[in-house]
Structure 1
């Protein structure tokens, strides 16, 4: 069993690595747009566009390769840490009752094989997804330039305004991945989902193996504030593993375990662990569970539930990441473009976006202050910076510093 708190934070370091890739690709797109030169209805400009498109594809493939080389080891480490953490949580009631010693808690051969196979599967899924990023980025680059071409040649927009919109649109979209079904998702969202789902499902399988070895007949599910409504009905309760018993529903039927929408399914932070009547004590009271769903956070004259607060905070976080991507793209364009007139234009646009970023960050801080929530810095990163101990610190300092300076200048 993995706690909701563990599942909420375990992948922050890995996602920091993905943020580096995300920002670098956005910078690549802006740089390649700058190198394409002034938009003209000529074959020469079209050749430049095609050349930069091919170079962009090479850039992204190379950068994805660097990430993949670093990430394979990190993914295995995440699964190994999760496996051990889950085992210790599963054994907690027996440890506390003195019926088991910590030294006796080891992953069996079957558990080890299950964990390694799951880690390999997750590595493959993430590897396949990130490879599609090159294709998606190239397509977005071509679409952005073609849209800019139409705007300029129609006379409705200046060259600078058309390019600004092209770069801004690419940054807002972010780096994408394409699934086999044709569905397109943001890179960070897709990887967060793959890691959370893969690790939690693997922990569930290990719990099943462990419970079988110990002869457990009951499971208790974890509970957390902010659970989606369809999960709040079964969180924090005890279930019969096989069949039913007086006062106990069937585990699989009640929780939907094994399905995408159920326990340990898509983006689910719930887990479960063996429960021994007479030995284990229920982890949650009725009041605890009711409190999780009770509107109790005051914001702008309204009372919000934990779930509503979480959704609102995620909205602010997405907006902050978006502005940071835009600033990174503008910064890359300014560093690459040859025309001083274009540089001056984009410095002014950088300043405008910096003001918007600081306003959005201020709104998010005010929301967190009013509701008593903590700011999740890992969710507002664009490029990861690590301290001496390898811990995730913040997004790219050079762009951050420029944004702060531009914001102060704009407010003078």
Structure 2
């Protein structure tokens, strides 16, 4: 069974756990949303009790539904393994005159099959019995919190914040949505303290179980065909320690060289390699040794992205990290939408997601590997930024003013375009301006710069730089305004729109820079203010 097929099988179970996470998160957000209308302590207490009254029943029902779906899906997946790994070898049995026993009559194989399915279902059950979220406990520390406590803790804290006015409903919703989406539904192994997302744990459990079941079937096939040699599959992006993929080994070598039976070896945890019976003189290798040497040489080559080098395995790991971040941001967007958050908050979250998506595609292209967006969309959340969302975002940012240096004061001294041009040619001849500056006496303030951004928040272009009436009738005041607007553009080029410093920080920085320029040139800065 090739790695791609195993990934698709594991993703089916992973998707069921995303469904569980989405339903529970949506329920928490829906309950928090009700608190927006709480106006008195008595109402708060009654309302909270009503909301918390059926929490345990909801959790129990959702877990039963998920495990029920998982049970049926696991049987289906293992049936597929038998079909692909055992039934598909029927022609080989007949080719070497060995009797092929149909699966329905093969009691030994059925015993392995039932045992493997049971182990996988028990693993899924163990995951669902120890679910919760890893949430912030302050000072950069996170603690595991069971599902029932998540409901009580989040709802009570949210209700008190809204009631007392400590935080607005929108602020509470943003906080809870982000924390839950960043943490994700977690499964914890209490004996060691290790934790990972439930979706990841489920995927790993199925991937490992299916792979081991496949290996057992192939060993049975090899025994029937009286061969002691096996070919191990090869796949791109394998971890460095799994260099042995693609070659032919004896059963002993599978253990001694490939680590068969160990957690980090062949068919171990999260391993996508498998092995199948190889009959010398009949079977044909997938790759020759020379082809494997060349493939592995290319795997070790590094490529650069954002100043950092990645080989094939590191690039794949980075891709998975970026996919996890995108899924978390998609969950955050959906939580904000379902909670009726401020449109600006939703738009900002969508912008961050689009920026992540843009970076993901850019990274994949730089590494020469295909983007695997199916791993992002396995969260079952559908489109989180619709076509209209793109248009709204783009329009809003096109018309947004980055520079409006003094909105409270309107200048009274008009200037001419000839004055602007002379300053550019003389005093500021060493400055390469980003755009032609034109006078517009109708604008408020000394100057205004309009920036157009891509939907994902990256700088696209300068739409216009306009100079308005000045507060002082001096050349220095006009020079100050022109430098100010140009520096606004340069700052905008440097940052994604979501990472821009505040207006106060930007203007403070710009004023310091302009003062240094005036001092270096010997100009009188007092005449500019």
TM-score bracket, shorter-length normalisation = 0.7 to 0.9
How far residue 121 of structure 1 moved from its aligned partner, in angstroms, is 2.3
User: Residue 140 in 1 paired to residue 150 in 2?
Assistant: yes
Instruction: Pick from 222, 225, 231 the counterpart of residue 214 of structure 1.
Output: 225
Match of 2:369 in 1: 373
SS at match of 2:235: coil
User: Which residue matches 1:347?
Assistant: 343
Please, which of 184, 187, 197 is the counterpart of residue 186 of structure 1? 197
Matches within 5 A, 1:11-410: 11-37=10-36, 42=41, 45=44, 48-49=47-48, 51-87=50-86, 94=92, 98-99=95-96, 104=100, 106-107=102-103, 108-133=106-131, 136-145=146-155, 158=168, 160-181=170-191, 183-232=194-243, 234-242=244-252, 250-290=253-293, 291-292=295-296, 293-295=299-301, 297=303, 299-300=305-306, 304-334=310-340, 343=341, 346-381=342-377, 383-384=379-380, 395-397=381-383, 400=386, 404=390, 407-408=393-394, 410=396
Larger Rg, first or second structure (1 or 2): 2
- Relative to structure 1, the CA distance from residue 156 to residue 43 in structure 2 (aligned partners, 3 Å threshold; closer, same or farther) is closer
CA distance in 2, matches of 1:56, 1:403: 34
How many angstroms apart in 1 are the aligned matches of 2:56 and 2:389? 29
- Matched-pair contact (CA < 8 Å) for 2:15–2:199: no
1:38, distance to aligned residue in structure 2 (A): 6.7
CA distance in 2, matches of 1:302, 1:86: 41
Q: Deviations over 1:203-260 (max 9, x none)?
A: 112222222222222222222111112222x322332224xxxxxxx32122221221
For the 8 Å contact 2:333–2:346, the answer to whether it is kept is yes
CA distance in 2, matches of 1:254, 1:54: 57
TM-score, normalised with respect to structure 2: 0.63
Q: Distance in 2 between matches of 1:306 and 1:328?
A: 33
Using a 3 Å threshold, how does the CA distance of structure 1 residues 90 and 154 change in structure 2: closer, same or farther?
A: farther
Structure 2: which 5+ runs fail to align?
133-144, 399-529
Contact residue 317 and residue 380 of structure 1 kept, 8 A: yes
**1:74–1:123: structure 2 CA closer, same or farther, 3 Å change rule?**
same
CA displacement at 1:70 relative to structure 2: 2.7
Would you identify which runs of 4 or more consecutive aligned residues in structure 1 move more than 6 Å? 38-41, 89-92, 149-156
8 Å Cα contact 1:368-1:374 kept in structure 2: yes
Deviation at 1:15, TM superposition (A): 2.8
Kindly indicate whether the alpha-carbon contact (under 8 Å) linking 2:10 and 2:204 is maintained by their aligned counterparts in 1.
Answer: no
Does structure 1 retain, via aligned residues, the 8 Å contact 2:158–2:172?
yes
Deviation at 1:42, TM superposition (A): 4.9
Aligned length: 380
Structure number with the bigger relative contact order (C-alpha 8 A, sep ≥ 6) is: 1
| Consecutive unaligned residues in structure 1, runs of 5 or more | 243-249, 335-342, 385-394
Distance 1:162 1:121 in 2: 42
Contact 1:320 1:361 in 2 (8 A): yes
Partners of 1:90 and 1:207 within 8 A in 2: no
Moved more, 354-363 or 107-116: 107-116
Say if 1:177 and 1:186, in contact at 8 Å, map to a contact too: yes
DSSP-derived class of the 1:373 partner: coil
Structure number with the higher strand fraction is 2
Q: Is the 8 Å Cα contact of residues 304 and 310 (structure 2) preserved in structure 1?
A: yes
RMSD: 3.3
